[in-house]
Structure 1
Amino acid sequence: MTAGILGSIHTPADVHALPPQRLRDLCAEIRSTLLEYGRKHGGHIGSNLGVVELTVALHRVFDSPRDRFIFDVSHQSYVHKMLTGRAEAYLDESHFDEVTGFTNPSESDHDSFVLGHTGTSISLACGLAKTRDMQRAATGSSGIGNVIAIIGDGSLSSAIAFEGLNNAAEQGGNLIIIVNDNEMSIAEDFGGMYGQLAKLRASDGTAEPNLFKAFGLDYRYVEQGNDVDVLVDALGRLKDSDHPVVLHIHTTKGLGFSTETMSRNGSDGCSQTNPQPHAGQCEANHWQDPDSSLGKPLDARKYYGQMAMASLERRFAQEPGLVVISPATPGSNGITRDFRERAGAHYVDTGITEEHAAAFAAGIAKAGGRPVLATSATFFQRIYDQLQQELALNHVPATLLIFGAGISGTDNTHSGTFDMTMFANTPGVTCLAPTGGEQMLDMLAWATGPSDHGVVAIRMPGEQILAMERSASMAFDPSERADAHETSVDITGDCPFMRYQIVRPGREVAVMGLGNTMPLAAEVAGRLSDDDGIDATLIDALQYSTMDGELLDVLADGHRVVVTLEDGQLEGGWGEKVTAFYANSTNPKAATVHALNFGASKEFTDRVPLAELDERYGLTVEAVADRIRRVLAR
């Protein structure tokens, strides 16, 4: 990859020094770089293509890092990184992995926060501006200049964004809030607010009511949000403002994503020949895998998500209260556009509003419906209050499908290792961990059935389970598997998954796998048999919300070692509870049991390869087997 102007940009001062007529050339180079980077590396390409001109204009007008930019979610910060000394990480393939997909102060002083969740930029900006104003009042100066929050219209649906707007108007002082309106969220945008934004766009910002003015905020509108010269002028007028101002700009997400690139990447991205796409057109390009194609096998979350949706869809006609809820990220979890269209009123996208989605689900369940709330483990963290109060405390029959859970090589903002400690330690929540597609469908059928139960969290199978099933020559695609499946459990009674399942009986050593670690558990048992002649008992734990005390007591008779494997944080997790069970048991044989727990350390990890993490945590066949051997040798 080569670049002319971009290769010479090392600091924002270099952007300031460019002749005005070269800004458009710089934008064109950046857009080409993004497209090539996305093809080879992957990432959030659509969101960055839409803010090329805005980011160049920001660095042309303001003086980062004294002037602070807070990019909401920060998945659209690639251009900002290019202009702040990190262009090589996008130009040179050998440096592609040197920067994260989000802002990060450890990379640069130009990044104020580590950000990966949505809706928080205005609140963060309020905090920076508040401290700046207090410093100036006390000493006459501050190291912080203008404070600028950049938030997309999709992120604006988050409750905390409205809380931030409310606070900004009351606080006063210099604060610039840029609303990047590209007429969509990650998928389509939903909510009454978007009709008002459309009226503002259609009226060149003059329509009433104006929700920003209703908060008491000054308001400006720019229709040409992808015109760098227009943006430089508009931002220049707002620089050093003495009061909060909202700058509402109209942009095109994925601008420059051509039909050729779309075909090559298997995406329904945006084309410059269609500069104002319909809402949702760039959904697949929001999170673009490198060199993807329409024929590429589905990943686990999409595969099992499609299977789950297909099984629910069969019931829609007979069950008016069965509703699937997604807070803005449906495609990531196999909730396809075709399914959403067929589902009609049985599907609701609440926008990026996880807290509302959880409370909404509680309301549906309280009225007699059966809601299914599906999102990523990392985003479920945002519903902690609603999980305890509206859902668990009210004992409502809501089903939560947890996608992307487990140890992974993702960035530090999207870890999936913390969900089990949150869900399993909340009273009244049944936490299930299927180890196959058929088992997942049975759990889903029970959770959404007529039995009188509270909240059910199903940790959707991950790549380890999908690989295991593929190796067994799965015969069906996800929809066909769901159509062919007949539920084998009683969905009207108590939970049929609370007892741990002995997959293969043995002696001396019991290896217990939970969810995604079941394939590892089977490998460990096989290694002990092949290398040591130990006929280990293999157990599928099925759930992590309570102990199967009866089976654990049985294991104490004839097993010296009980091993627990879990794909999540070890501290506060399931395995430690097994250890505590034996430590506190009144069964005299329990004192002879040595429990070994394997899981993730309590830490944030940032793009560490999964294989390296497994080695670090001892979650490999050899590491587990060696620890077992050392205990048996005592």
Structure 2
Amino acid sequence: MEIAPGPLLKMIESPADVKQLSREQLHQLCDELRQYIIDVVSVHGGHFGASLGVVELSVALHYIYNTPYDQLVWDVGHQAYGHKILTGRKDNFSSNRKYNGLSGFPKRSESEYDTFGVGHSSTSISAALGMAIAARHKGENRKSVAVIGDGSMTAGMAFEAMNHAGVTDADMLIILNDNNMSIDPNVGALREYLTDISTSHTYNRLKDDIWKALGKLPVGKKFTRDMASKLEHSVKGFVNKSSNLFEALKLRYFGPIDGHNITKLVDTLQDLKKIPGPKILHIITVKGKGYSLAEKDQTKWHAPGLFDKITGEIYKKTFETKQPPKYQDVFGHTIIELAEKNKNIFGITPAMPSGSSLKFMMEQMPDRAIDVGICEQHAVTLSAGMATQGLKVFCNIYSSFMQRAYDQVVHDVAIQKLPVIFCLDRAGLVGEDGPTHHGAYDIPYFRCIPHMVISAPMNESELRNLMYTAQLETNNHPFVIRYPRGEGVMPDWKTPFEEITIGKGRKLKDGDDIAILTLGHPGNFATTAIRELKTEGLNPAHYDMRFAKPLDEALLHEVFKKYAKVLTVEDGTIVGGMGSAVLEFMAQHNYHATVKMLGIPDRLVEHGSLKELHRECGYDAAGIAQTVREMMKDKVTVGTLLQ
């Protein structure tokens, strides 16, 4: 289905074309850009509400600033679709998030207008400050602009960057896009603080005076540092006490203004461009602006999938038979079951209650489920503090986001041997979000930490049993449970709890000549591959390792004594992963075998569907079967000759 942009948008190939428009035409461009995003995302999928909320800002920024010479940094990148369309990627935008297509996030290798690759939140201010310092050092008169949401502003890294920016003379602008949402509603004192600013009647009576002062800036004349200083003190006199947080950090604060008023945005950005030094502009927007359903239910419409843009019906897969649940939902319902029996169980997540399904516990047990905002470091150390008091904390963090709290895992949890339970959602390849979100590295970066248990369930029942085991009083170590994004394999998943012996794997099938050792969900791929190989006269054994640390050494002794060929399969990087641990065991015990490792290769894997990426990396069922054939080539050849 071909989707045609509006007549004005059709003519836009770069920001230079935007600059040729009159200010009156900008209103039409915003309408057409918003409609084009709705049209494309409804048919091809992707993030939705965030980009609709910054249509006017995207147009205004490229209208006023000389991009890409002026450096524009988007935080996270969920909201950068308009930016991509305006910067030469309109005709290819339907490939967004598809295999070999455009990335769903700004990406330096994709466009010179993408000045910084972003997939994790709260990096924009640091990056833009670095660019501004570099520009000053090189004597370049380029501007740096960071666009950050109020949700991303809750992260400590954003405050660290503002703290530094305030004591520099870097020429940068921070635009605070305040819509009171990240993916889920924002939490914490900062949300209330920004609400106070935006609703203060006293302040809003004065803000027009501020902009009148700005409107008297001498057009076409040199704006001197002395004049800027006078304006600064004038503006500070207008700003009420609510802005003290930013002023205390020595950031000149302007706003709040309506982020959907393109005329106001253009005038404001034009004025602020003339003011040197670090400054912050606070704009108020609506996530999902222009699509009423997205405005009303912003969490649901963050990334809704394919939908009918007229009726708002979100297309769901239809099945004739009962389907397995998502691993995330199994976690969400199981933690409630466990918490009903164990009063010391708590759940913690950094701003992902919907994605992790902790939302179920937050609804039923609001006093025992906590969303701390986009604060992974805080989430880990908060969990550690609670664990010192005997609480059993399930700290649920996406695998790739867990990388941001590594020091806290080592220093605050592992060294103190605190039994925090880390549930790593989205472990392994995640699909269309691509390399910023793939949970590729958690096994190696946890495996090297003493006192750490690392486990992965092959199915929903195993996830439940690992969660049950982790919260028992007999467990006195940090306990990692990693599981993938998406559906499992058991429609009837709600099985009775059983304790699993820590470090104990299981033999699923005996065999001849070769053994397949799997960790986690890819064990199901191996099961499918083994069925196919059986028709070819091959009979691999299959072992579900369950634990990457500690390894089941008794099981491995059995494997290496019996099989001369071993294949390991995991949904994580093969560098330092479970396969590496098996090779270390083999070397330490002087076994000799041919070992092949399958998993995420030692390179960055781009975006695509899970099936496409598993196939590319060679550890889907077909890839496993083909690897077994290659390892058993002599036997396959002999068998073929005998037929």
Q: Distance in 2 between matches of 1:528 and 1:48?
A: 48
2:327 and 2:484 in contact (8 A); partners too: yes
The amino acid of 2:554's aligned partner reads E
Out of 365, 373, 382, the residue aligned to residue 395 of structure 2 is 373
Q: Structure 1: where are the runs of 5+ without partners?
A: 137-141, 260-268, 272-280, 476-480, 490-494
Indicate the percent of aligned positions where both proteins have the same amino acid. Answer: 28
Q: Is the 8 A contact 1:409 1:610 kept in 2?
A: yes
Task: Specify which of 177, 181, 193 is matched with residue 190 of structure 2.
Answer: 193
Corresponding residue number in structure 2 for 1:293: 314
2:327 is the alignment partner of 1:311: no
The aligned counterpart of 1:539 is: 543
Closer, same or farther: CA 284–414 of 1 in aligned 2, 3 Å: same
Q: Secondary structure at the match of 1:450?
A: coil
1:502 aligns with 2:498: no
1:282-431 matched pairs, under 5 angstroms: 282-291=298-307, 293=314, 296=317, 303-317=326-340, 319-336=342-359, 339-410=361-432, 411-431=434-454
Corresponding residue for residue 156 of structure 2: 159
What amino acid is aligned across from residue 241 of structure 2 in structure 1? Answer: E
Indicate the SS of the match to 1:563.
Answer: strand
CA distance in 1, matches of 2:369, 2:97: 43
Partner of 1:548 in structure 2?
552
* 2:496 corresponds to: 486
Aligned in 2, Cα 1:232/1:91: closer, same or farther, shift over 3 Å? farther
Q: Deviations over 1:52-76 (max 9, x none)?
A: 0111111111110111110011221
Q: Report how far residue 80 of structure 1 moved.
A: 0.9
User: Which residue identity is paired with 1:36?
Assistant: D
The total of aligned residue pairs comes to 586
Q: Partners in 1 of 2:600 and 2:528 — Cα distance?
A: 19
Does the 8 Å CA contact 1:300/1:461 hold for their aligned counterparts? Answer: no
Deviation string, structure 1 residues 376-419 (Cα, Å, up to 9, x no partner): 11111111111111111111111111111113543222122222
Q: Tell me how far apart the structure 2 counterparts of residues 45 and 615 of structure 1 sit (CA, whole Å).
A: 28
Q: CA deviation at 1:528?
A: 3.6
Deviations 1:83-130 (A, max 9, x none): 111122337999997421111122221110111111011111111111
Task: Please give the root-mean-square deviation of Cα atoms over the aligned residues, in Å.
Answer: 2.5
Q: How far does residue 319 in structure 1 lie from its aligned partner after superposition?
A: 3.8
Tell me how far apart the structure 2 counterparts of residues 381 and 460 of structure 1 sit (CA, whole Å).
Answer: 16
Report matched runs for 1:11-410 at 5 Å: 11-90=14-93, 98-136=101-139, 142=140, 145-203=142-200, 204=204, 206-210=239-243, 211-259=245-293, 269-271=294-296, 281-291=297-307, 293=314, 296=317, 303-317=326-340, 319-336=342-359, 339-410=361-432
Deviation at 1:530, TM superposition (A): 2.4
CA-to-aligned-CA distance 1:283-337 (integer Å, 9 cap, x gap): 122223123737547999972222222222234455443111111122122233x
2:122–2:158 contact (8 Å) kept in structure 1: yes
Structure 2 counterparts to residues 559-578 of structure 1, below 5 A:
559-578=563-582
**2:217: which partner in 1?**
none
| Amino acid in structure 1 at the alignment position of 2:299 | E
TM-score under structure 1 length normalisation: 0.87
Deviates more, 1:113-122 or 1:369-378: 369-378
Q: What amino acid is the match of 2:17? A: D
SS at match of 1:423: helix
Structure 1 position 426, deviation (Å): 1.9
The letter for the 2-side match of 1:214 is A
State how far apart, in whole Å, the 1-side matches of 2:192 and 2:574 are: 46
* 2:565 partner amino acid: V
Residues 570/91 of structure 1: CA separation in 2 closer, same or farther (3 Å cut): closer
Partner amino acid, structure 1, of 2:482 = R
Higher RCO (CA < 8 A, seq sep 6+): 2
Distance in structure 2 (CA, Å) of the matches to 1:314 and 1:626 = 44
- The code of the aligned residue for 1:290 comes to L
Q: Which moved more, 1:516-525 or 1:83-92?
A: 83-92
Q: Which amino acid aligns with 2:398?
A: S
Q: Secondary structure at the match of 2:564?
A: strand
Give the 3 Å change call, closer, same or farther, for CA 4–92 of structure 1 in structure 2.
farther
Matched ranges for 1:585-600 at <5 A: 585-586=589-590, 590-591=591-592, 593-600=593-600
Cα 1:207–1:454 change in 2 (3 A) is farther
Q: Shift of residue 8 of structure 1?
A: 0.5
Output the CA distance in 2 between the equivalents of 1:93 and 1:417.
22
Question: 1:262 corresponds to which residue?
Answer: none
Structure-1 residue corresponding to 2:477: 454
CA 1:527–1:314 in structure 2 vs 1: closer, same or farther (change >3 Å)? closer
1:624, distance to aligned residue in structure 2 (A): 1.8
Q: In the alignment, residue 286 of structure 2 is paired with which amino acid?
A: T
Q: 1:574–1:253: structure 2 CA closer, same or farther, 3 Å change rule?
A: same
In the superposition, relative to structure 1, how do residues 363 and 294 fare at CA in structure 2: closer, same or farther (>3 Å)? farther
Aligned amino acid, residue 181 of structure 1: D
Change (3 A) 1:45 1:613: closer
SS at match of 2:366: helix
Instruction: Please state whether the residue corresponding to 2:295 is helix, strand or coil.
Output: coil
Stretch moving more, 31-40 or 449-458: 449-458
Give 1:505 deviation, angstroms. Answer: 2.1
CA offset at residue 236 of structure 1? 0.9
Residue pair 1:301, 1:404 contacting (<8 A) in 2 also = no
Quickly say closer, same or farther: Cα 1:70–1:320, change in 2 above 3 A: same
Change (3 A) 1:544 1:12: same
Task: Determine if contact 1:563/1:595 at 8 Å carries over to the other structure.
Answer: yes
Q: Which amino acid is 2:302 matched to? A: H
| Residue 515 of structure 1, CA deviation | 0.6
Aligned partners of 1:527 and 1:91: how far apart in 2? 37
Equivalent-residue separation in structure 1 for 2:503 and 2:111 (angstroms): 49
CA distance in 2, matches of 1:301, 1:104: 35
Residue in 2 that maps onto 1:264: none
Identify if the C-alpha distance between structure 1 residues 536 and 392 changes in structure 2 by more than 3 Å, giving closer, same or farther.
Answer: same
- For 2:570, what is the secondary structure of its paired residue? strand
The ranges of structure 1 where at least 4 consecutive aligned residues each deviate by more than 6 angstroms after the TM superposition are 91-97, 297-302
> Does the Cα contact within 8 Å between 1:322 and 1:371 map onto a contact in 2?
yes
Counterpart of 2:92 in structure 1: which amino acid?
A
